[in-house]
């Protein structure tokens, strides 16, 4: 319920605080006094976009509401990372340039979150705007409250959410793409070609080194022979140095030099051995060069074909091709798996929706009868009402049927959709009856009726007032009304008044005491000049 509403610098209102009581509150006042401003301010507080004409120049508009919320709202608060408080404060600030901020328990929130919460806290109904017109969700909610489908409906909705999750998963899998048969064949061909190549990192460079060696083997051989000749011939370096060393040994003065020559000879003999080994390795099969060249040509062809720089790039590409093949195989398996789960889920939904429809159909005649009875009591003796459930192609959150509310106010008239045949007054009474029936089934949140009693008077107005009063036993009811029969049923009477402050018309709200209520209802009965008879009649109405 709404406990209080504070409005500052909004339209005709300077600074007003309204404290609401539990039960039934009527909001009255002369035409143009500003009753609709109160409703508009509440709507803005709960997420509606503000009318720029209501914003004061160079002044900040502040609207604050204090609400009492039960623990059914805990999940909503947790979902949006807002601290839940049983006494929740909602604030909306709007600067003169139209920019606004919203807070729930001091936590900044977006307007869509505020609006989502607002629609759950307060239901606002006017004569020309009703949830019964096109809102399938509200219509299903009404009939399911009466038909007591809560257990099976909850189970169905749980299974429906699973179905939707699977359907979303299926869409994501399909969006990831699959490979056609031709694409798979081409990938397999490339994988086979690259796999047979037995690619090794660094092989190309190694082949090029070997080929270069083999292609230059003649020149290398000549260099080795020249080296061996220089070192080993009769008059070669080793022979001459050996002879010199031998002669130096005959003289002590050459001991140091002979030792140095000996070291050089050791190194030269080692060098000669290495040259000899190189000469042995030069014996090569001519086909070896051909094989090396063929392998290098194969690698170069693959590098050119796949536009890669080296064997490492080719190996990485091969791995990527294999990954695509594996993904495609996984894709098909996933597609099949999710598809099977969806089929199972559809069967579950089909069974549950059939059972749900049976329960509704069994209880709807009683619902229709109760609606008609209450409409009869509100001065519509020939009113007929019927709920039509029509099977549709797809499952939705409330089953596999669409709902239509059919209505006829006049004897002999055909039943047609409510939106097509009900007048404003008829629609108001029909909607009030729905809320009356719902309130008996389960307590509602705050209901705000904006002059839904226009077009009725006398006994019918009194009956509507009684019905609002009964609804207020389980739900807070606030009603804007000019009818004394309705105003007298409320347990709180607020009056919107206008007066002049600093040459400016401003609206204020007054909480009437008992004597003031008598006078106000008497004015509604007789006009500004209150007769003694009107005064007494007002007292009677209040005491009924």
Tell me the per-residue pLDDT of 403-424, one tens digit each, with 9 for 90 and over. 999 999 998 889 998 878 877 7
Residues in the chain: 544
Beta-bridge partner residues of 405? 387
Q: 18, 15, 14: which is closest to 5 by C-alpha?
A: 18
What percent of the chain clears pLDDT 70, i.e. is strictly above it? 95
Strands 122-126 and 446-450: parallel
For residue range 213-233, list pLDDT tens digits in order.
777 776 777 777 787 778 777
Confidence at residue 17, expressed as pLDDT on a 0 to 100 scale: 95
Q: Per-residue confidence at 129, pLDDT binned at 50, 70, 90?
A: low
133 φ, ψ to 5°?
-65, -55
Beta-bridge partner residues of 32? none
Calpha distance 107→346 (Å, rounded): 41
**Mean pLDDT of the 461-481 span:** 91
Examine the pLDDT at 204 and tell me if it is beyond 80. Answer: yes
Burial class (CB in 10 A: 0-12, 13-18, 19+), 493: buried
Calpha distance 169→167 (Å, rounded): 5
DSSP character for 3? Answer: E
Asked if 97 and 44 touch (Cβ cutoff 8 Å), the reply is no
Q: 436, 465, 463: which is closest to 378 by C-alpha?
A: 463
Confidence at residue 418, expressed as pLDDT on a 0 to 100 scale: 86
57 φ, ψ to 5°?
-70, 135
Calpha distance 52→99 (Å, rounded): 10
Confidence at residue 355, expressed as pLDDT on a 0 to 100 scale: 96
Calpha distance 332→345 (Å, rounded): 20
> How many CA atoms does the CB half-sphere of 112 hold within 13 Å?
1
pTM of the predicted model over 0.75: no
3-class secondary structure per residue, 471-504: HCCCCCEEEECCCHHHHCCCCEEEEEEEEEECCE
Confidence at residue 501, expressed as pLDDT on a 0 to 100 scale: 85
For residue range 27-64, list pLDDT tens digits in order.
998 887 788 899 999 999 999 988 888 888 888 999 99
SS3 422: coil
Confidence at residue 389, expressed as pLDDT on a 0 to 100 scale: 94
CATH classification code of 1-127+451-512: 3.40.50.300
Cα maximum dimension of the chain: 164
User: Could you tell me the two tokens for 515?
Assistant: 């004597």
User: Could you tell me the two tokens for 412?
Assistant: 């002999």
Q: Per-residue confidence at 106, pLDDT binned at 50, 70, 90?
A: very high
Calpha distance 84→78 (Å, rounded): 7
What is the average pLDDT score of the chain?
Answer: 88
For residue range 511-544, list pLDDT tens digits in order.
999 999 999 999 998 887 888 898 898 998 988 7
For residue range 83-97, list pLDDT tens digits in order.
999 999 999 999 888
User: CATH 3.40.50.300 region(s) of the chain?
Assistant: 1-127+451-512
For residue range 130-170, list pLDDT tens digits in order.
555 667 888 898 899 889 898 999 999 999 999 999 999 88
Calpha distance 158→164 (Å, rounded): 10
SS3 27: strand
Examine the pLDDT at 364 and tell me if it is beyond 70. Answer: yes
């Amino acid at each position: 319920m709404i406990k209080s509403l504070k409005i500052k610098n909004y339209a005709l209102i300077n600074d007003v605080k309204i404290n609401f009581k539990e039960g039934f509150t009527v909001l009255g006042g002369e035409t143009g006094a500003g009753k609709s401003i109160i409703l508009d301010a509440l709507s803005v507080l709960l997420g509606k976009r503000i009318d720029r004409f209501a914003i004061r120049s160079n002044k900040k508009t502040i609207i604050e509401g204090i609400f009492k919320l039960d623990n059914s709202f805990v999940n909503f608060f947790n979902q949006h990372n807002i601290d839940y408080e049983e006494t929740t404060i909602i604030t909306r600030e709007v600067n003169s340039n139209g920019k606004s901020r919203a807070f729930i328990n001091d936590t900044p929130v977006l307007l869509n979150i505020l609006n989502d919460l607002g629609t759950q806290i307060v239901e606002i109904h006017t004569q020309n705007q009703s949830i019964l017109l096109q809102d399938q969700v509200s219509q299903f909610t009404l009939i399911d409250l009466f038909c007591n489908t809560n257990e099976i409906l909850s189970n169905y909705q749980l299974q429906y959410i699973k179905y939707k999750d699977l359907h979303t998963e299926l869409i994501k899998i399909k969006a990831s793409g699959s490979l056609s048969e031709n694409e798979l064949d081409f990938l397999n061909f490339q994988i086979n070609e690259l796999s047979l190549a037995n690619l090794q990192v660094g092989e190309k460079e190694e082949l090029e080194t070997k080929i270069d060696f083999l292609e230059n083997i003649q020149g290398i051989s000549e260099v080795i022979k020249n080296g061996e000749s220089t070192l080993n011939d009769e008059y070669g370096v080793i022979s001459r140095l050996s002879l010199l060393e031998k002669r130096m040994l005959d003289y002590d003065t050459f001991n140091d030099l002979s030792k140095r020559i000996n070291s050089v000879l050791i190194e030269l003999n080692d060098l000669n051995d290495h040259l000899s080994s190189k000469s042995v390795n030069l014996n090569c099969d001519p086909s070896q060069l051909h094989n090396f060249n063929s392998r290098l040509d194969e690698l170069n062809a693959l590098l050119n074909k796949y536009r890669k720089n080296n064997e490492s790039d080719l190996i990485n590409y091969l791995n990527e091709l294999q990954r695509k093949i594996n993904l495609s195989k996984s894709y098909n398996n996933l597609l099949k798996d999710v598809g099977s789960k969806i089929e199972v889920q559809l069967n579950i939904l089909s069974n549950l929706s059939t059972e749900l429809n049976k329960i509704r159909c069994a209880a709807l005649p009683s619902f229709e009868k109760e609606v008609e009875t209450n409409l009869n009591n509100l001065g519509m003796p020939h009113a007929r009402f019927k709920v039509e459930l029509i099977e549709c192609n797809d499952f939705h959150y409330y089953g596999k049927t669409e709902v239509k509310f059919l209505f006829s106010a006049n004897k002999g008239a055909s039943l047609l959709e409510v939106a097509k045949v009900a007048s404003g007054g008829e629609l108001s009474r029909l909607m009030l009856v729905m809320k009356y029936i719902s309130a008996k089934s389960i307590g509602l949140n705050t209901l705000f009726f904006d002059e839904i009693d226009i077009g009725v008077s006398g006994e019918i107005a009194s009956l509507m007032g009684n019905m609002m009063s009964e609804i207020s036993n389980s739900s807070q009811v606030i009603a804007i009304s000019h009818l004394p029969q309705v105003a007298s049923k409320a347990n709180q009477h607020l009056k919107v008044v206008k007066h002049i402050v600093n040459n400016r018309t401003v609206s204020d709200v007054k909480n009437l005491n008992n004597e003031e209520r008598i006078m106000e209802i008497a004015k509604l009965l007789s006009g500004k000049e209150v007769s003694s008879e009107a005064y007494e009649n007002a007292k009677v109405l209040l005491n009924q």
